[in-house]
A and B are shown apart, each in its own frame.
Chain A
C-alpha cells in the first residue's frame, strides 16, 4: 500500500517523497500530506469555533435581559439554527478529523493515509460548504430559523428559500465526512505497521476506527432526511406534510442524530484514554473492556433515537423500549469513566495542561451523562423535553465533553507537531478561566429549564431573568478566554523550549519515537517490530 500512497504523493508534488512541502500558497490547495490536511482541518475547526462562538454570544447577549434588545425574533432563530449546525459540522467534527489526520498514521506507523488525494478532496469540500452555509445570512428572508434539527414542515414548506442552500451544504459536508471515514477505516485496517494487531492499537486510533463505521451509518441517513425535505419543497411530495407524516422526519433525523452524538464523543474518549495514562504514568486500566465498551455504545447508539421524541405521541410500548435502551447505554459509558479513574488510582500523577483538560472532561462529561440519565426517564422527560435543561445537558456533553477533549488533544500533541513546548503558565490560566466560566454559563441553565424555560426563545418571562443574566456573563468570559488558546498556539508554533521526541515522560506510542517536529514524510521506513512492541500495550520501557 505504501507504494500507492508514495506514487500519488510523487505525482502531485512532482517531488521526491523524502522532500519537504511544496513552496508557495499552492502547497495547501494541492497537498496530499496527512499532516498538512490535519492542520487545515484544525484551522477550519478553529475558524468555525469563532464564527459559531460569535453567534452564541449574540444569542447570550439578547438573552441577558427580558425584552428584545439586539435581534428580531426571526434573526435570533437563524442564530440558534446556524450556531448548532456550525458547531457540530464545522467545529467539532473537523476538529476531531484534524486530530485523526495528524495522529492515526503516526500512531500506527503508516506513511500517510490510504487515499491521500481523497483526503485532500474531503477537506476542500468543507470551506465551500461553510461559505454556502454562512452565506444564507445574506440571502432574501435571511438564514433558516427552524433549528439545527430542521424539523418539518417548519424547515420544509414553511422555510425561507435559503434552506435549499443549507441542505446543499449539509450534503457536501456529509460526502466529506463519508470520504474521510472510509479513508480512516482503510488506513487503520490496511496500513498498520507489521506487528501491530488490532487489539494492540492505541485507544485514539481504536475509537476513530469505530467512529468511521458509525459515520458510514449516520451520514447517508441524514442525506436521506434532508433530500426528502427538498422533494417536499420542490417536487410536490408530501412526506412530512400534514397529509403525510411530520413525525417520520424526526424518526429519520434522529436515526442519524443520535449516532452523531457518539461520532462527536467516541474520538474524545480516545483522546482522554491517551492522556490519562500518560500523566498517571500507568497503563490504561481495563484496556480490553474499554474497547468493548466503545463497541457496545456504538451498537446501542443506533437503537435509542426516539428518546429525542418522547412528547410526539409515541405508543407507550415505544416509549418504554426507548427508555430501557437509553438507560442501558449508561452502563458501558459508566465503565469508561470507572476505568479512567482506576487508571489514575495509585498512579504517579502530574497536572500539566493536557491532563487538566482531560480531568475537566471526565468530571463535566459525567455531569452531562447524569443529566442524560434523568432525561431518559420518560415521566420526568415530559417536563424536561425542549427546555433549557436539555440545553444544559447537551452543552455539558458537547462543550465540556467533545470540545474539552479536542483542546486536551491539541495541547498533548502540540509539542510533537511544532517541536516546541507551549507556555505552561498561560495554558493553566486558559484552563482555569475556561473551566470556571463554562460552568457559570451552562450550570444555571439546568435551573432555568426545571423552572420552565423553553429552549429556542428570543425573550422570556421575568422569573428566568437571573439565570439568564448569569449564563450570559459566563458565556462571554468563556468565549473571550479562547483568545488565550489562539495566542498560546501561535506562540508555540513560532518558538519555545525544544520539546524533544517524548515531551511527556509517561507517554507511550509510535508517535513519540519520531523527532519533534516530525519530518514532512514519516515512517517511509516502517517502524521495526521491536519498536512496535515496545510502544504497544505489552511493551516496557
Chain B
C-alpha cells in the first residue's frame, strides 16, 4: 500500500516533470511559488508528506488492529514470544530503502539549487538591519531602505485606531519593495548590519540567513510578474515581526522603466541637494530619511516606545548639544547596541538633514541647522 503510493508519487514526479504545476495554491499548504526552486521544494515536500502518510497509516493500522484484537477484555491470552531476528532485519531494511528513495531526489535538487550561476544577469545586495531591509543595486547605483508600511505600523500598536483587518496586507506591506525583472538570473548577496536576520519569501522557495560579517549568495529567477510577500524568519529582536520582505517582479521593459525613474528621482534629489543648504531642504530630506531609517524604533511621532526606544520629541539628546546628537547618529550608542552607527550607511549631507529634522520636528524647536561640513568634522 505504502509502496504503491510512494511509487505513484515518484512516477507522477518524473512523468509530469513535477506535480507542482498541477497543484492549486492552498491556505493549508506550502505555496508552489514562482521559481524553479520553489516548485522543487514543493515537490519534495509533497513526496515527503505522502511518504510520511504512508508510513503513518501502515504503522498505526497495525497498532490499532492489535489494540482492538489483543485486549484482555476480548479474552486475549498473552503469547510468550519476545524476539524474531527476521522481522527485526526486515524493519531495519525497509526504512533504509524508503529513506534512500526520498534522499536521492533531495540530493539532486540540493546540488542544483546550490549551484551558483557563472554569470548572473544582475546583482542586488541585501542588508538586514533592526528592523528593515536595505537593497543596493551596485550596477545601477540605486539603493534604498524597505520599511514596514505605515498602515501596518499604525495598526500594529496596542489599541490601534485602525484594526489590522483594515490595513492592506497587514505586516506584509512595505514602503519600497525590492524591484526585479522576471526571467533574469538575479544574484542576491545577503548580509546583515547588526544581528542575524533571515530573508524569506515563500513564493520564491527558500530562506537564507543574513549574517553580519559575511555574504550568503542565492540566485533567483522569477517566472511571473507579481508582488511576492514574506517576512524575516530569524528572531532579530523587538521588531522581528515588523520587517517584511516584499519583492515586486516586473517584466523586463517595465523594470527598465522603473530603473530609469529611480535614477531620475535620484538625479533630482542630487540637484536639490547640491543647491544651497537651507532649513527647508534639510527638513524635507531629513523627514524622508527619518521615516525610512529611524521611525521603525523612534516612531513617526518621535515618541519612541517606553522602556525600549527613547523618545526624540523633547529628548535629552535631540534638544541637547549638537555634537552629542551627531555623535550618536554617526557612531551609534555604546550603551544600547540597537542604536546603530549610521556613519557608514548615510552621507554627510543625509546625516546633517536627519539631525536637523530631529532637532526641529514635533515640539522640538532648537532652530539648529546642522551643516554637512559639521558632520564631516564630527566623523
Pairing of A with B:
yes
Smallest distance from the beta carbon of B98 to chain A beta carbons, Å?
A: 9
In the assembled complex, which residues on chain A have CB atoms less than 8 Å from the CB atom of B305?
A: 72
In the assembled complex, which residues on chain B have CB atoms less than 8 Å from the CB atom of A452?
A: 31, 202, 230-231
Q: Check A382/B31 contact, CB under 8 A, given A348-B78, A370-B56.
A: no
Q: Indicate if the CB atoms of B76 and A371 lie closer than 8 Å.
A: no
User: Which listed residue (B29, B169, B236, B238) contacts A450, Cβ 8 A?
Assistant: B29
Q: Indicate if the CB atoms of B99 and A327 lie closer than 8 Å.
A: yes
**A-B contacts, 12 listed (Cβ < 8 Å):** A67-B156, A68-B157, A77-B235, A338-B91, A348-B71, A350-B71, A359-B67, A374-B48, A380-B41, A382-B207, A447-B29, A457-B240
Q: Which residues of A contact B (CB under 8 A)?
A: 66-69, 72-74, 77, 141-142, 145-147, 151, 153-154, 157-158, 241-247, 280-289, 311-313, 316, 319-320, 323-324, 327-328, 330-331, 334-335, 337-339, 341-351, 359, 362-363, 366-367, 370-371, 373-374, 377-380, 382-383, 385-387, 447, 450-452, 454-463, 506
In the assembled complex, which residues on chain A have CB atoms less than 8 Å from the CB atom of B110?
A: 316, 319-320, 323, 378-379
B200's nearest neighbour on chain A, judged by CB, is A454
Question: Within B213-256, which residues are at the interface with A (CB < 8 Å)?
Answer: 213-214, 216, 230-242
Q: Indicate if the CB atoms of B171 and A153 lie closer than 8 Å.
A: no
Question: Within B62-101, which residues are at the interface with A (CB < 8 Å)?
Answer: 62-63, 66-67, 70-73, 76-84, 87-88, 91-92, 95-96, 99
- Interface-forming stretch among B3-11, B135-143, B158-166, B177-185? B158-166
Q: Taking chain B's interface residues, is the majority helix, strand, or loop, or is none over half, making it mixed?
A: mixed
B236's nearest neighbour on chain A, judged by CB, is A154
Q: Indicate if the CB atoms of B165 and A462 lie closer than 8 Å.
A: yes
Per-residue CB contact flags for chain B residues 22-64 toward chain A (1 = under 8 Å, else 0) read 0000011111000001101100110011011001100110110
Q: Indicate if the CB atoms of A282 and B31 lie closer than 8 Å.
A: no
A67 and B157 CA atoms in complex are apart in Å by: 7
Q: How many residues of B contact A (CB 8 A)?
A: 99
Q: Indicate if the CB atoms of A385 and B103 lie closer than 8 Å.
A: no
Q: Indicate if the CB atoms of B211 and A282 lie closer than 8 Å.
A: no
Q: Check A379/B40 contact, CB under 8 A, given A74-B238, A77-B237, A313-B214.
A: yes
A351 and B59 CA atoms in complex are apart in Å by: 20
In the assembled complex, which residues on chain A have CB atoms less than 8 Å from the CB atom of B233?
A: 311, 385-387, 454
B209 located at the interface, meaning its Cβ lies under 8 Å from any Cβ of chain A in the complex = yes
Q: Which residues of B contact A (CB under 8 A)?
A: 27-31, 37-38, 40-41, 44-45, 48-49, 51-52, 55-56, 59-60, 62-63, 66-67, 70-73, 76-84, 87-88, 91-92, 95-96, 99, 102-103, 106-107, 109-111, 113-114, 155-158, 160, 163-165, 169-172, 192, 194-196, 198, 200, 202, 205-209, 211-214, 216, 230-242, 305, 307-308, 337-338
Q: Besides the contacts A348-B71, A455-B235, what 7 more A-B pairs have beta carbons closer than 8 Å?
A: A153-B194, A320-B110, A347-B66, A379-B109, A451-B28, A457-B231, A462-B165
A189 and B194 CA atoms in complex are apart in Å by: 50
In the assembled complex, which residues on chain A have CB atoms less than 8 Å from the CB atom of B66?
A: 341, 344-347, 349
In the assembled complex, which residues on chain B have CB atoms less than 8 Å from the CB atom of A347?
A: 66, 70, 76, 78-79
User: Which listed residue (A66, A68, A73, A288) contacts B165, Cβ 8 A?
Assistant: A66
Q: Check A344/B78 contact, CB under 8 A, given A74-B238, A153-B194, A457-B241.
A: no
Q: Indicate if the CB atoms of B106 and A247 lie closer than 8 Å.
A: no
Smallest distance from the beta carbon of A70 to chain B beta carbons, Å?
A: 9
In the assembled complex, which residues on chain B have CB atoms less than 8 Å from the CB atom of A378?
A: 106, 110
Q: Indicate if the CB atoms of A330 and B171 lie closer than 8 Å.
A: no
A247 and B37 CA atoms in complex are apart in Å by: 25
A285's nearest neighbour on chain B, judged by CB, is B82
A113 and B113 CA atoms in complex are apart in Å by: 54
In the assembled complex, which residues on chain B have CB atoms less than 8 Å from the CB atom of A350?
A: 71-73
In the assembled complex, which residues on chain A have CB atoms less than 8 Å from the CB atom of B163?
A: 67
